[in-house]
Amino acid sequence: MYRTHTCGELTLNEAGKAVTLAGWVQRVRNLGGMTFVDLRDRYGITQLLIDEKASSELKAETAALGREFVVQVVGRVVERAAKNPKLPTGEIEISVNKIKVLNAAELPPFTIEDETDGGDELRMKFRYLDLRRNPLRKAMELRHKMAYEVRTYMNNEKFLEIETPYLIKSTPEGARDFIVPSRINAGQFYALPQSPQTFKQILMVGGYDRYFQIVRCFRDEDLRADRQPEFTQIDCEMAFVEREDVLQTFEGLAKHLFDAVLGVKFEGDFPRITYAEAMKYYGCDKPDIRFDMRIGELTEAAKGKGFGLFDSAEYIGAISAPNCSEYTRKQLDELSEWVKRPQIGAKALVYIKVGDELKSSVDKFYSVAELQNFVEITGAKKGDLLLILAGAKKQTLSALSALRLEMGARLNLRTEGVFKPLWVVDFPLFEYDEPTQRFYAMHHPFTSPNPDQIDLFYSSRKEDLEQVCANAYDFVINGVEIGGGSIRIHDSKQQRRMFEILGFTPEAAEEQFGFIINAFRYGAPPHGGIAFGFDRWCATFGGSESIRDYIAFPKNNAGRDVMIDSPAPVGEEQLRELSIKINKEEKID
Ligand code: ASP
């Protein structure tokens, strides 16, 4: 037997007991005659003591220990003189009488402790060492617990976990597919699923009215900080449901996870806001509602008074930062530079200090009464600082959204450990793309229009189609989009109309989606579903912005696995088998 106990479980209850432990040497501290060793495994850390009276052989063995050596120790549990209340095992130590090195280790390239000196790339290259660290261990434990609790809830709700294939044909989700060449079918390719969307809908036709899957999805997108080329979804679909049923079921899932994983309980329903409200008040479709600081629109009130920036703007909006009216020149200049950064892209920052009197950067153009009107429109209070941006509507709202989040962070209003979930509903069904002069589905082409807007959906006028809302919903926690889904089209006439609006000829629709159109001819029930970004949900619960920490073996920002060094070239022979010819001279953009 390698061990009688783990390194995380011994307490004073076991005092006097003979035990055997196994683990990794985290630290060795030699204090004169005595040596302390911190022994670590997945469960915790236990202090080992090799005291002055130890045999010279044991002392020599201890002296030879290095960081991350794998050892087995035999000893007795004793009460510690200096207790460490921070460790569950902090009241005891093991008085060692035998140490056996099970495996020596090279000096690790970074320290394996909560705070490490290793940079991102180095830690990813030596991921197995990084995984030994507490923060990662906790992240993996949280992820496991989440998956376990998802299955518990879904099972109780009579959902079946059904696997769908990884080698498929493109799904129409908008992003680029990863493709896999077929050896047997020369010149043909599979695609890795961006999501199991079509399969889960076909499962509904197959009669499995409650499906879910914790499933890997693949999207060949340009990488952003919180994106990974392969990521995991909790993918779900239900038949014989309306939007309300879906929202209730998955609000139930969210509440279960909050409670079971974090011990956070929610009374009442999660708030719901429409996409239009989200854009108007928060400038984005995934608002962080842990704090208020809503956007107030000043376009009407501020235009036409001779101030060029405002007069030429399509939109003028403001937020009021609480208790910031005393901001110094320097602070205001810094904030002004911040909004002008290319990522934010505002032209200028206009402010009004709401103190005993109103002081603004546009006093020349506006009377006190006019400024007072701005204050009233935005609901700013005494002590607030009104921050105003102007320009094109879309860009200005997005800049205000970024500024709002930044001020929220600076003022510590985005409190860690506080969770504010909400649903965003009534998204537009289509997005019009000017350069290509056509409509795209905002969600995907299987999303149904809002039931009360069917007439508009059949209208041939662009303005009418722009009005149509999708029967779709997003689930947001603390400004992070955790999931999204929709009620699907199950009527073939509607589906044909959808493809028509999206610019597919009947032949092209048949070629790409023939299998699902066909399936729908054989009795498709009304259905709808949702998918949650599992990695992101874990990261949000863990209080981290990085999904990478919650994936055991993530890719770096260039989409590479630096541990196994992938992607990598393959041999000529392998390529020949796949009937693939690479012309290295010819670079295709
Ligand atoms: N397949 C969609 C997605 O991956 C989710 C859904 O509509 O269920 O975003």
**Residue 346 phi, psi dihedral angles, 5° rounding:** -80, 155
> Does 531 contact ligand 1 (Cβ within 6 A)?
yes
- pLDDT value, residue 586: 65
The ligand 1 atom nearest the CA atom of 235: 8
- pLDDT value, residue 280: 98
Task: Please indicate, yes or no, whether residues 404 and 373 belong to a single structural domain of this protein.
Answer: yes
Task: Please indicate, yes or no, whether residues 501 and 554 belong to a single structural domain of this protein.
Answer: no
> Does 533 contact ligand 1 (Cβ within 6 A)?
no
| Residue nearest to ligand 1 atom 7, measured at CA | 485
| Residue nearest to ligand 1 atom 1, measured at CA | 197
Residue 448 counted as domain residue: yes
Task: Please indicate, yes or no, whether residues 500 and 474 belong to a single structural domain of this protein.
Answer: yes
Task: Please indicate, yes or no, whether residues 370 and 302 belong to a single structural domain of this protein.
Answer: yes
Residue 427 CA, ligand 1 centroid: distance in Å: 14
| Residue nearest to ligand 1 atom 4, measured at CA | 195
Of 389, 410, 431, the last residue of a domain is: 410
> Does 530 contact ligand 1 (Cβ within 6 A)?
yes
- pLDDT value, residue 221: 87
Contacts 24+ apart (CB under 8 A), 266-275: 266/421, 270/421, 270/422, 270/423, 271/422, 271/423, 272/247, 272/422, 272/423, 272/424, 272/425, 273/422, 273/423, 273/424, 273/425, 274/424, 274/425, 274/426, 275/424, 275/425, 275/426, 275/427, 275/428, 275/469
Residue 273 counted as domain residue: no
- pLDDT value, residue 588: 58
Can you count the helices (H) and strands (E) in the chain? 18, 22
> Does 228 contact ligand 1 (Cβ within 6 A)?
no
CA 266 to chain CA mean position, Å: 21
Residue 164 CA, ligand 1 centroid: distance in Å: 14
| Residue nearest to ligand 1 atom 6, measured at CA | 485
Residue 111 counted as domain residue: no
Tell me the pairing of strands 272-274 and 421-425. Answer: parallel
> Does 198 contact ligand 1 (Cβ within 6 A)?
no
> Does 484 contact ligand 1 (Cβ within 6 A)?
yes
**Residue 251 phi, psi dihedral angles, 5° rounding:** -65, -35
Task: Please indicate, yes or no, whether residues 406 and 320 belong to a single structural domain of this protein.
Answer: yes
> Does 529 contact ligand 1 (Cβ within 6 A)?
yes
- pLDDT value, residue 139: 97
For residue 171, what is the domain's CATH number?
A: 3.30.930.10
Task: Please indicate, yes or no, whether residues 522 and 538 belong to a single structural domain of this protein.
Answer: no
Residue 514 CA, ligand 1 centroid: distance in Å: 20
**Residue 18 phi, psi dihedral angles, 5° rounding:** -85, 130
The ligand 1 atom nearest the CA atom of 446: 7
Q: Which domain holds residue 24?
A: 12-103
Residue 461 CA, ligand 1 centroid: distance in Å: 28
Task: Please indicate, yes or no, whether residues 559 and 502 belong to a single structural domain of this protein.
Answer: no
| Residue nearest to ligand 1 atom 3, measured at CA | 531
> Does 10 contact ligand 1 (Cβ within 6 A)?
no
Residue 454 counted as domain residue: yes
Residue 197 CA, ligand 1 centroid: distance in Å: 6
Query: For the chain, how many structural domains are there in total?
Result: 4
Task: Please indicate, yes or no, whether residues 522 and 536 belong to a single structural domain of this protein.
Answer: no
Of 487, 506, 526, the last residue of a domain is: 526
Task: Please indicate, yes or no, whether residues 514 and 454 belong to a single structural domain of this protein.
Answer: yes
Task: Please indicate, yes or no, whether residues 304 and 401 belong to a single structural domain of this protein.
Answer: yes
> Does 528 contact ligand 1 (Cβ within 6 A)?
no
Ligand 1 mutation pick, 215, 218, 285, 444, max ligand atoms within 8 A of CB: 444
Task: Please indicate, yes or no, whether residues 402 and 428 belong to a single structural domain of this protein.
Answer: no
- pLDDT value, residue 293: 96
List C-alpha distances in Å: 198 to 3, 58, 201.
50, 64, 5
- pLDDT value, residue 222: 82
**Model pTM greater than 0.85?**
yes
Give residue 554's identity as a one-letter amino acid code. P
Distance between CA atoms of residues 562 and 575, nearest Å: 23
For residue 20, what is the domain's CATH number?
A: 2.40.50.140
Give residue 284's identity as a one-letter amino acid code. C
Residue 183 CA, ligand 1 centroid: distance in Å: 31
Distance between CA atoms of residues 588 and 387, nearest Å: 47
Residue 279 counted as domain residue: no
Residue 137 counted as domain residue: no
Of 376, 410, 444, the last residue of a domain is: 410
For residue 297, what is the domain's CATH number?
A: 3.30.1360.30
Task: Please indicate, yes or no, whether residues 208 and 174 belong to a single structural domain of this protein.
Answer: yes
Query: Which stretches of the chain score pLDDT less than 70?
Result: 171-173, 225, 585-589
Residue 358 counted as domain residue: yes
Residue 530 CA, ligand 1 centroid: distance in Å: 6
